[in-house]
Copies of this chain bind each other. A is one copy, B any other.
Amino acid sequence: MSHPVSPLAPRSHPEMPPVAGVSIATGAAGIKYKGRTDVLTMTFAPGTAVAGVLTTSKCPSAPVDHCRASLPGGRARALVVNSGNANAFTGRKGLAATQTTAAAAAEAVGCAPSEVFLASTGVIGEPLDAARITPLLAGLFAQGEGGRWREAADAIMTTDTYAKVATRSVRLGETEVRLNGIAKGAGMIAPDMATMLSFLATDAAIEPAVLQALLAEAVGPTFNSVTVDSDTSTSDTLLLFATGAAGNAPVTETGDARLAPFREALGAVLLDLARQVARDGEGARKEIVVTVEGAVDDRSAKRVALSIANSPLVKTAVAGEDANWGRVVMAVGKAGEPAERDRLAISFGDVRVAVDGERDPAYSEAEASAAMKRDEIAIRVELGMGTGRWTVYTCDLTKEYVAINGDYRS
């Protein structure tokens, strides 16, 4: 099954430079797909710190359980990811598959199994045959290279129509450090987490506790503000590795003044990847950027924005290029957050369509229609209740979404 590349795909991918201390390889285990790679391995220099954010699902996959148990150790030497099978809801077999894979990787790399991080994405409920992956590991680890970020992004795709990569370089004190990231995800995307899978690595030296704090802070307005279909995966995994190979004096406190540019770069890479996920939403033809302002607080603004972004009626209206602000009113109303009908203002792009609880007297149907023809639809809602503000990223809901998800297993 393949689908045409999203019209919202980036025009070009950035050149992905190596990150010192990270070695990458990909292979074809034939787990589900034929004629493509489906296994990704990374090895990290000794002493690499790791931070992570995992799905909040009450039914997490076996690899998520493994990562959750390993993260407190704060150190990583290897990453093994497969696509085609999520190893989720696979019971004792699922646990056994993660144990087997982690043990094989640990032996090949020479580390503890808890320093091996795992992720799987694909069909839920089918046992994952670890014996397809483990024989490849020693070879993959041996042949790893630093520059294969794009191949890495290719290997973890499922219904994605394009690979998702991002990179930044910034100063950390006197040292130039690099931050690379990849992501996959196209459906079953909703906060917390909206990833499905994303892996970032930097050569900066940052202690695990600081790394975790930075990641937790950065994920809120980025991956946790993306939704495709309100469905939260059992497998969502975001991991950030810091090898320390850049040689900066290690960052040991979140208040370290040197961190400012890195913080900004981390937010930028995560937002870049998160928006690429939204723009590759299954069947997406338009990106929708929903900004709610004037809420009683940011949390309330986010809830209203998600109510709009997850509304099938709003999403189908955008698909139909219909400036149907009545459905935005509906979505504000159902959010359950403080709102006053008669203070609401709504804009599509630059066109204010409603103000003070009714249609904007200056509203032009022609201008609104023109705004709806763009690839990026900005919906702005002013609640008039306070200063809370949030932006959420999503896509439209098209017949292709239904087609893709109506025959996924066949």
A→B interface (CB under 8 Å): 55-60, 86, 88-94, 123-127, 187-188, 190, 229-234, 310-313, 316-317, 319-320, 322, 324-327, 329-342, 344, 354, 356-359, 397-399, 401-403, 405-410
Copies of this chain per assembly: 2
Q: Decide if B337 touches A58 in the complex (CB within 8 Å).
A: yes
Return chain B residues, CB-CB under 8 Å to A359.
89-90, 125-127
A/B interface sample: 19 pairs, CB < 8 A: A57-B333, A58-B340, A58-B341, A59-B333, A59-B341, A91-B356, A124-B327, A125-B325, A127-B359, A229-B313, A230-B310, A231-B313, A312-B397, A312-B405, A313-B405, A320-B406, A320-B410, A322-B409, A402-B402
B190–A313 touching, CB < 8 Å? no
A398 CA to B403 CA, complexed, in Å = 8
How far is it, in angstroms, between the C-alpha of A197 and the C-alpha of B143 when the chains are bound? 66
- Main SS of chain A's interface residues? loop
Question: Across the interface, do A232 and B319 meet the contact criterion of CB distance under 8 Å?
Answer: no
In the complex, the answer to whether A334 meets B409 with C-beta atoms within 8 Å is no
Tell me, rounded to whole Å, the shortest Cβ–Cβ distance linking A284 to chain B.
12
- The reply to whether B59 and A410 form a contact with Cβ atoms under 8 Å apart is no
Which 6 A-B residue pairings sit nearest by Cβ, starting from the closest? A124-B326, A320-B406, A91-B358, A59-B333, A57-B333, A316-B405
Question: In this complex, what residue of B is CB-closest to A356?
Answer: B91
A232 touching B330, Cβ below 8 Å: yes
* C-alpha spacing A359/B342, complex, angstroms: 52
Using CB atoms, name the residue of chain B closest to A383: B58
Q: Nearest CB to that of A339 among chain B residues?
A: B58
Evaluate contact between A187 and B313: CB separation under 8 angstroms. yes
Instruction: Flag if B324 contacts A408 (CB, 8 Å).
Output: yes
What's the nearest-Cβ distance from chain B to residue A293, in Å?
Answer: 17
Residues of B within 8 A of A410 (CB): 320, 322
Q: Which chain B residues lie closer than 8 Å to A316 at the CB level?
A: 401-402, 405-406
CB distance from A123 to the nearest CB of B (A): 6
- Do the beta carbons of A333 and B401 come within 8 Å of each other? no
Point out the residues of chain B lying under 8 angstroms from A340, CB to CB: 58
Report whether A406 and B334 are in contact in the complex, using a CB–CB cutoff of 8 Å: no
Residue of B187, B312, B332, B357 touching A91 (CB-CB under 8 A):
B357
* CB nearest neighbor in B for A405: B316
User: Which residues of B sit under 8 angstroms from A126, Cβ to Cβ?
Assistant: 359
Could you tell me the distance in whole angstroms from the C-beta of A230 to the nearest C-beta in chain B?
Answer: 7
Which of B58, B230, B408 touches A333 (beta carbons < 8 Å)?
B58
